[in-house]
Amino acid sequence: AEEAAKHDEL
């Protein structure tokens, strides 16, 4: 989840 949240912007 930490990894994925890193690129939560478009």
Residues that bind another protein (CB under 8 A): 3-10
From the CB of 1, what's the least distance to another protein, in Å?
9
Two tokens at 4? 């994925």
Minimum CB–partner distance for residue 2 and another protein (Å): 10
Distance in angstroms (rounded) separating the CA atoms of residues 1 and 7: 11
Write the DSSP string, the chain: -HHHHHT---
CB of 8 to another protein, least distance (A): 5
